[in-house]
A and B are shown apart, each in its own frame.
Chain A
Amino acid sequence: MAAVGSEGAPASDDALLVLYANGDPEAAAELMQRLAPRALGVAIRVLGNRAEAEDITQEAMMRLWRMAPDWQPGQAKVSTWLYRVVMNLCIDLKRRQRGGHVDLDAIPDPEDPACSAADQLQDVARQDALQQALMKLPERQRQAVVLRHIEELTNPEISGIMEISVEAVESLTARGKRALAKVLANRREELGYSDV
């Protein structure tokens, strides 16, 4: 059975990918169950659009299937590879939508949403509020915050995915968190939090 290793432990993503490349049909289903929800979740958080996120997920998984025969087990994590593909696809999509070049190094400070957040968002769940706050972050900050605080990846992993230094990751996540706190500050009572 594809999902179980030789000693009864769950097979690693590496092993499943090798099995898939060798023609095992069950390996594809298991890999999809493990990886696709994470890819979709990240894409939704980064893009803020479920339909686009589903398209990105399908394309990323297609690249995974095609890459399977060339995969070198043990050299990297399959999930990290997939996150990188998803992030790059998200960036490409945003770039096409803007119809021009996006300077990834130019990360402006977030705008002060104090006057708009509380007025625009009413009677929404905390998750919706978080998503809306995330969408107010610059793209790279949003990616870093999602990978660090929702996907719980390590800074070195994020560094590999975003192809920036660990220090840059730390800076992006710190600035992102501060910006999120600022965005959500006016909604604490609405979201059921109090200052006391």
Chain B
Amino acid sequence: MSDTDKSLNKMDHLEDLFAAARSAPTELPGPLQASLLADAQRVQQERASARDTASETSQLLSSPQELSRQIWRQFVSAVGGWPALGGLVAASLSGLWIGLAPPSFLPDPVESFASYSSGSQVVSDLDYDVSFLLSDEVFE
């Protein structure tokens, strides 16, 4: 047998080995299959939730009324719900009323403020030390 024939014969053996390799498909182990499917499902779920979020956002942006309702709902929720919001409104109105029309036993803040004739008087009422320091330099 010549060298060329021997070489061709070697290649024939190789083709047999390749054919045998092709005819023996690789089996996926069960744990690997499970991992691959779990990965696939996780990626699918991540994408679905991202899609939902994007859809909600686009709905909000496309409707200003819905956006303002959403902001109002979030505000009410942050304050503590409707009962808490009612209490907050009542307290605010009471404070405003007391400020504008105080009971007789309380000093009237509006009147006392209006009675000041100059800035130095306001400062002197606030703090003796401050008025002492400023009186010579600023209000001469």
**Interface residues in chain A, defined as those with a beta carbon under 8 Å from any beta carbon in chain B:** 20-21, 23, 25, 28-29, 31-33, 36-38, 40-41, 44-45, 54, 57-58, 61-62, 65-66, 68-69, 126-127, 129-130, 149-150, 152, 177, 180-182, 184-185, 188, 191, 193, 195-196
In the assembled complex, B7 has its CB within 8 A of some CB on chain A: yes
Q: How far is the CA of A122 from the CA of B28 in the complex (A)?
A: 28
- How far is the CB of B135 from the nearest CB of chain A, in Å? 75
- How far is the CB of A131 from the nearest CB of chain B, in Å? 8
Q: How far is the CA of A19 from the CA of B11 in the complex (A)?
A: 44
8 Å CB contact of A181 from B14, B21, B37, B40 = B14
| New A-B contacts (19) at CB < 8 Å, excluding given A54-B32, A191-B13 | A21-B47, A28-B41, A29-B40, A31-B40, A37-B26, A40-B26, A41-B25, A58-B35, A62-B43, A68-B43, A149-B18, A150-B22, A181-B7, A181-B13, A188-B10, A191-B17, A193-B13, A195-B6, A196-B1
Residue of A nearest to B7 (CB): A181
Whether B37 contacts A29 by the Cβ 8 Å rule is: yes
Whether A188 contacts B13 by the Cβ 8 Å rule is: yes
Residue of B nearest to A129 (CB): B17
In the assembled complex, B114 has its CB within 8 A of some CB on chain A: no
**Interface residues in chain B, defined as those with a beta carbon under 8 Å from any beta carbon in chain A:** 1, 6-7, 9-11, 13-14, 16-18, 20-22, 24-29, 32-33, 35-37, 39-41, 43-44, 47-48
* Contacts A191-B13, A193-B13 given; does A28 touch B26 at CB 8 Å: no
Q: How would you classify the secondary structure of chain B's contact residues: helix, strand, loop or mixed? A: helix
- How far is the CB of B29 from the nearest CB of chain A, in Å? 7
Whether B11 contacts A58 by the Cβ 8 Å rule is: no
Q: How far is the CA of A61 from the CA of B40 in the complex (A)?
A: 8
* Contacts A36-B36, A65-B39 given; does A195 touch B26 at CB 8 Å: no
* Contacts A37-B27, A40-B28, A181-B14 given; does A28 touch B40 at CB 8 Å: yes
